[in-house]
């Protein structure tokens, strides 16, 4: 009985370490891709962060970054008509360089992708894996698409982190 218990503990530790190693490996590869993209785009790009609910709610924040500085943020929110791809927009606004961060009640936080990668590594991936599922995906041609964590057992819209729909050079 004692051997079985110790084996189970060892197996859990190995699986946790493997998942963490996989996240770290995928993150490192994505970060290298990001550095190459950043150089090629002269640190000028746009990206769309989004969140959504299985119940139809959806919001996007589109950031434009030029020479490593955020120059605009656009927000679109609404809900999808049932069984369609048609978004019924309920809220939209745009901030330019002079008005950035004037809509604090909605939209994703002002972050360049350098800051997103940093926040993922230093905050979102450092939570207790016994209490949270940690996620990292790089589906945007090797660049970050999801990073963050979800408390175990949460069912909808629980990610602390970011989903990124697309990243484009300017």
pLDDT of residue 35: 98
Inter-residue long-range contacts of 58-66, CB under 8 Å, 24+ positions, other chains counted: 58/87, 59/106, 59/107, 60/165, 61/107, 61/108, 63/108, 63/110, 63/111, 63/112, 64/170, 65/112, 65/113, 66/170
Q: Range of 44's domain?
A: 2-169
pLDDT of residue 24: 66
Q: Does pTM surpass 0.85?
A: no
pLDDT of residue 22: 59
For the stretch 82-119, pLDDT in tens is 888 888 999 999 999 999 999 988 899 999 999 999 99
pLDDT of residue 106: 87
- Cα(154)–Cα(61) distance, integer angstroms: 24
Structural domain tally of the chain?
Answer: 1
Residue ranges in the chain modelled with pLDDT below 70: 1-24
């Amino acid at each position: 009985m004692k051997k079985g218990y110790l084996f189970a503990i060892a197996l859990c530790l190995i699986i946790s370490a493997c998942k963490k190693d996989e996240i770290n490996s995928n993150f490192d590869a994505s970060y290298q891709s990001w550095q190459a993209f950043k150089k090629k785009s002269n640190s000028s790009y746009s990206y769309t962060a989004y969140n959504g609910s299985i119940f139809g709610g959806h919001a996007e924040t589109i950031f434009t970054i030029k020479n490593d500085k955020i120059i605009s943020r656009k927000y679109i929110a609404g809900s999808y008509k049932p069984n369609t791809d048609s978004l019924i927009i309920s809220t939209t606004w745009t901030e330019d360089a002079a008005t950035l961060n004037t809509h604090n009640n909605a939209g994703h936080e002002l972050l360049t992708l350098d800051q997103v990668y940093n926040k993922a590594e230093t905050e979102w991936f450092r939570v207790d894996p016994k209490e949270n599922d940690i996620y990292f995906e790089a589906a945007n041609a090797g660049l970050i698409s999801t990073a963050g964590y979800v408390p175990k057992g949460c069912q909808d819209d629980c990610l602390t982190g970011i989903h990124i729909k697309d990243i484009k050079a300017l």
